[in-house]
Amino acid sequence: MSVVPAVLRSWLARRLLLGVAQTAAVVLLVFVLTEALPGDAAVALAGDQPDPARIAAIRTEMGLNRPAAERLADWVVGLLHGDLGTSLTSGRPVAAYLTDGFGPTLLLAAVTVVLLVPAGVGLGVLAARREGSVADRLVSSMTLAVYAVPEFALGVLLVTLFALRLGWLPPTAVGSGGDLLAQPAVLVLPVLVLLSRPVCSISRLVRAGMIDALRSPYARQAARYGLSPARVRYAHALPNALAPAAQQLARTVDWLLCGVIVVEALFVIPGLGTVLMNAVAERDVPVVQGLAVVFGLVAVVLNLGADLVARRLAPRAGVAA
Amino acid sequence: MTELPPTDRETAVPPGLRRRGFLAATAGATATAGLVLAGCGTGSGSSGTGGGTPRRGGRLRAAFAGGGASETLDPHLGNLFADVARAKALYDKLADCGTDMSARPRLAAKWEPNDTLDRWRITLRKAAFHNGKPVTAEDVLYSFRRIADPKKAYRAKASLEPIDLAASRAVSPDTVEFRLKRPTAEFPNVLAAFGAYIVPAGTTTADFARLVGSGPFRFVSFTPGRSCVVRRNDAYWDGAPHLDELEFVVANEESARVNALLGGQVEYAHELNPTTARAHEGKGQIEIVRLRNSAMQSFAMKTDRAPFDDKRVREAFFLIADRKELVDGALSGAGEIGNDLFGKGYEYYAADLPQRHQDLDRARHLLKQAGAEDLRLTLDTSPVAAGFTEAAGIFRDQAAKAGVTIQVKSGSKDSYWSDILDSGTLCCYRSGAMPIESHFSQRLLSGSTTNATKWRHKDFDALYQQAQSTKDKKERAAVYGRMQRRLYTEGGFLVWGFADWIVGTSRRVRGVAHDAPANTLDWARFDKVWLA
């Protein structure tokens, strides 16, 4: 850490501490909220056969008759030992749920980000090159239009057109299990749906940031020094435009990783979003808590990374801890 | 006992994603078709999609709504349709429900009661588990004792309650003698109970990883919430399946199941919406199979509290309902109208009672007599089952015409069934297929654990006991008839319809039974299906 300046180090430490506190708060909040929901895992499991004796038996077997505080304490102790607990409904370890669901979600997120960065930045730069040009107006109106379409509607539209009408792509990832790479074609439509909105927001941010930067005194000064317009644009203006985009990107990745429920449901991708939906429906508190920890940590780490990148790209903008 | 599995998972997607049939469109004459499956003795329903000679081979992929990562292969734990379909492929029960809900022998070749109907001798057929060992009386007793374990909460536990398992014994390797706590004429229904599968003696939870059943398919692989692959059991006692392999895949979203079917990714999609069915029926792309009488749809009135403690108010409510409008609106026409009795078309159903029609004048008159003019009450509903919220809205409007003000209250779908059991006065209710006798014993006796209408009458209980100790079937049917007449005139269930269960198949799939309500023997019975 010696290469890291002291100021940055203390800033990092503060950020990490804050992150841990935030994660703990999220977990506590999730626990309280799931406790506050009507019914518990026993009631959910009993379904349309709510025989009180059976519910009581399930409750005893699951240990739900113990006080909430005691269950939370047990869980926290387990967590400190790296044990996320076991699912109430299946008795399988929560860690297995997370690792099973993480693969597909991570793959989707990775493919989306790999395509998102060049597409978003490229479109933004293209639009910013000449403000008000045909290209600019086309990009701006298209991104606004696509951004306005909900993922679910877009997904249904794409499936109907490309899978059912034209038959080019598989309509869902059904039957691929978790191994989506074995059949890369199943990834195309989900990734398109996932890309649609972030591409719009990022390209618009890049465009706005670049136009601002090109108008700024330092860009004009650089031009007066005789630097080529391309160099001014890419070496001086673009990094300034990228700082807000990087933060937006972190939020996007966060959103992608935390399981894009709509896309997973629509395309039958057994990722974290699906795990979360089922766990909430079943009141499977340990699984929900485990997911909350993971989502909390992912959000903290990603935002930290984004702030670091933003600091690096545009130090003068300053980054609040 | 053969209860429709809870459908929590049917709604395990954000409400906004569900495409439920809201259309009150004219759905054709299906609602009044009045399918009557005369009494007992109907064959086990071999009518299927398409005909021709069965062809051997191929892999069929079937998409079900599932339970995600917490799914299990333990057949005694299964709760969902997907669980039952898998259990059915891998295991057998002693008996199963036929199309009319009467028990059909499976692993039990025959059953004989003694004269007092409290001791039943079951003879097992020659059948073997997948490891070659024969299915014996010990396996049967072990399985039932496992289900009835007082420390556990296996689903079929309540259904097996009539059996005195401690006193029951294996007479010989292929004969079990069950001693019962009281006479039970309908004991074969217990053998057909939901989840009463026979596993090899000594099987524990950990063993379900290397599954051994006696069913038509052998276990190959299983990933919870994703897929389960099974392969033909050539030595199956009921004839080897036609398919080489069968894969169950999980797709919770209805549109995903339809898309997978249309896109050729699966050949069988369970549980489709009426609107989807209408869009594709007869278009030639896929086949739509409507399983009639699969789900009873009703409003449950709590008969132990005002205003429904007055039977005139209950009768008035029976007369308020326009059943056709409810079936067309809430079920998009995919069903038929009810007559305030459970089990239309099932064995012992009182089909001779006149069909009830809307009669608002008489309803108003009855309410006035009961001093219940300007009645105001709350109707509990929830998005827990397809059509519930729609039915509540339609009934509210119908009731308004009779001067009754209904406020619809929508509750949580995850705890709905438990919430409505004791609280409220009027609620939306539904039930899957089960024998009429089970409907009585589980919901309408003083001691029933899920008595949502709080119907508690000593004389009704006595009639039930009388039926259970009556050996002669005709006499028994007469007693059931009396019980149903009573419910028809003053019961708490306003049964307005019976919903179809809709299944979609690829055009290559043959041999899918058309007349098997969900949960019966021939429903999701893949050993009789083949690919053309």
Phi/psi of residue B478, nearest 5 degrees = -65, -40
Determine if residue B332 is left, alpha or beta; phi over 0 gives left, psi from -120 to 50 gives alpha, anything else beta: left
Per-residue pLDDT band at A3 (split at 50, 70, 90): low
Given this chain, do its domains B215-267+508-531 and B295-500 carry the same CATH topology?
no
Nearest chain B residue to A165, by CA: B263
Contact between residue B280 and residue B504 where contact means Cβ atoms under 8 Å apart: yes
Q: B408-421 pLDDT, tens per residue?
A: 999 988 889 999 99
With 70 as the cut, is the pLDDT of residue B250 above it?
yes
Mean of the pLDDT values across residues A217-227?
Answer: 83
* B250 to A268: CB separation less than 8 angstroms, yes or no: yes
Residues B441 and B81: their CA atoms lie apart, in Å, by: 23
Domain over B295-500 is classified CATH 3.30.70.141: no
Per-residue pLDDT band at A316 (split at 50, 70, 90): low
Residues B154 and B158: their CA atoms lie apart, in Å, by: 9
- Predicted pLDDT at B29: 29
Tokens linked to B473 = 């079937």
Nearest chain A residue to B6, by CA: A47
Mean of the pLDDT values across residues B427-431?
Answer: 95
- Predicted pLDDT at A319: 44
With 80 as the cut, is the pLDDT of residue B166 above it?
yes
Q: B373-400 pLDDT, tens per residue?
A: 889 999 999 998 888 999 999 999 999 9
If residue B229 lies in a helix (H) or strand (E), which one and from where to where? Answer: strand B227-232
- Alpha helices per DSSP H over B253-310: 254-262, 274-280
Mean of the pLDDT values across residues A122-134?
Answer: 86
Query: CB of B263 within 8 Å of any CB in chain A?
Result: yes
* A39 to B252: CB separation less than 8 angstroms, yes or no: no
Residues A74 and A67: their CA atoms lie apart, in Å, by: 11
Mean of the pLDDT values across residues A90-103?
Answer: 86
Which residues, other chains included, contact B207 with Cβ-Cβ below 8 Å and sequence gap of 6+?
A: none
CA angle B385, B390, B394 (to 5 degrees): 140
- Predicted pLDDT at B14: 33
Tokens linked to A276 = 């979360």
Which residues, other chains included, contact B242 with Cβ-Cβ below 8 Å and sequence gap of 6+?
A: B54, B55, B56, B57, B511, B527, B528, B529, B530, B531
Residue numbers in A near B279 (CB within 8 A):
none
Q: Residue B452 in 3-state DSSP?
A: coil
- Predicted pLDDT at B400: 95
* CATH superfamily, region B92-201: Dipeptide-binding Protein; Domain 1 (3.90.76.10)
* B6 to A167: CB separation less than 8 angstroms, yes or no: no
Residues B304 and B492: their CA atoms lie apart, in Å, by: 10
Phi/psi of residue B372, nearest 5 degrees = -120, 40
Nearest to A177 among B7, B71, B226 (CB): B226
Mean of the pLDDT values across residues A169-183?
Answer: 80
Sorted by where each begins, the domain ranges of chain B are 92-201, 215-267+508-531, 295-500
Note which residues in 428-467 of chain B have CB less than 8 A from chain A: 430-432, 449-450
Nearest residue to B35 (alpha-carbon basis) of B436, B391, B481, B498 = B498
Nearest residue to B16 (alpha-carbon basis) of B383, B412, B410 = B383
- Predicted pLDDT at B517: 92
Residue numbers in A near B266 (CB within 8 A):
174-175
Tokens linked to B99 = 């199309």
* B259 to A172: CB separation less than 8 angstroms, yes or no: yes
Residue numbers in A near B262 (CB within 8 A):
164, 171
Residues B73 and B209: their CA atoms lie apart, in Å, by: 8
Residues A260 and A295: their CA atoms lie apart, in Å, by: 12
Give A166 or A34, the one with higher predicted confidence: A166
Phi/psi of residue B459, nearest 5 degrees = -70, -30
> Using the 8-state DSSP alphabet, how is residue B502 labeled?
E
* B13 to A277: CB separation less than 8 angstroms, yes or no: yes
Distance from CA of A126 to the nearest CA of B (A): 36
Contact between residue B297 and residue B338 where contact means Cβ atoms under 8 Å apart: yes
Per-residue pLDDT band at A4 (split at 50, 70, 90): low
Amino acid at A210: M
- Predicted pLDDT at A66: 86
Which residues, other chains included, contact A206 with Cβ-Cβ below 8 Å and sequence gap of 6+?
A: A120, A121, A123, A124, A125, A128, A238, A241, A242, A245
Q: Is the dihedral of CA B363, B369, B375, B379 positive or negative?
A: negative
* B12 to A101: CB separation less than 8 angstroms, yes or no: no
Amino acid at B368: K
Amino acid at B498: F
Average pLDDT, chain A: 83
The CATH class, in words, for B215-267+508-531 is alpha beta
Tokens linked to A214 = 């090109």
Residues B215 and B352: their CA atoms lie apart, in Å, by: 40
A and B: number of Cβ contacts within 8 A: 188
Q: B470-481 pLDDT, tens per residue?
A: 999 999 999 999
Q: B326-372 pLDDT, tens per residue?
A: 999 999 999 999 999 999 999 999 999 999 999 999 999 999 999 98
With 50 as the cut, is the pLDDT of residue B12 above it?
no
- Predicted pLDDT at B13: 32
* B417 to A46: CB separation less than 8 angstroms, yes or no: yes
- Predicted pLDDT at B260: 94
- Alpha helices per DSSP H over B381-446: 388-400, 416-422, 436-443
With both helix axes pointing from N to C terminus, report the angle between B311-320 and B360-369 in degrees, rounded to the nearest 10: 160
End-to-end Cα distance, chain A: 19
Average pLDDT, chain B: 88
With 50 as the cut, is the pLDDT of residue B253 above it?
yes
Per-residue pLDDT band at B51 (split at 50, 70, 90): low
Neighbours of A29 (CB within 10 A): 12
Residues A262 and A264: their CA atoms lie apart, in Å, by: 6
Q: B311-329 pLDDT, tens per residue?
A: 999 999 999 999 999 999 9
Q: What percent of chain A has pLDDT over 90?
A: 11
CA angle B301, B302, B308 (to 5 degrees): 75
Neighbours of B399 (CB within 10 A): 22
Q: Is the peptide bond before B307 cis (omega within 30 degrees of 0)?
A: yes
Give A232 or B89, the one with higher predicted confidence: B89
- Predicted pLDDT at B247: 96
Residue numbers in A near B414 (CB within 8 A):
37-39, 43-44, 281-283
Substitution target in A35, A40, A45, A48 with the highest count of B β-carbons within 10 Å is A48
Give B131 or A256, the one with higher predicted confidence: B131
Q: Per residue in B27-56, is it b (16+ CB within 10 Å) or e — as a string?
A: beebbeeeeebebeebebbeebbeeeebee
Beta bridge pairs of residue B232: B217
Sorted by where each begins, the domain ranges of chain A are 95-283
Per-residue pLDDT band at B295 (split at 50, 70, 90): very high
Contact between residue B373 and residue B345 where contact means Cβ atoms under 8 Å apart: no
Q: What percent of chain A has pLDDT over 70?
A: 95
Cβ burial, residue B403 (10 Å; 0-12/13-18/19+): middle
- Predicted pLDDT at A86: 85
- Predicted pLDDT at B216: 97
Per-position DSSP letters for A120-166, written without gaps between them: HHHHHHHHHHSTTSHHHHHHHHHHHHHHTS-HHHHHHHHIIIIIIIS
Amino acid at A319: V
Radius of gyration in angstroms for the set of CA atoms belonging to chain B, rounded to a whole number? 23
Beta bridge pairs of residue B246: B60, B230
Query: CB of B418 within 8 Å of any CB in chain A?
Result: yes
Mean of the pLDDT values across residues A152-159?
Answer: 90
Please state which of the ranges A90-94, B1-5, B110-114 shows the lowest mean pLDDT.
Answer: B1-5
With 70 as the cut, is the pLDDT of residue B296 above it?
yes
Fold classification of A95-283 is: MetI-like fold (1.10.3720)
Give B280 or A256, the one with higher predicted confidence: B280
- Predicted pLDDT at A252: 87
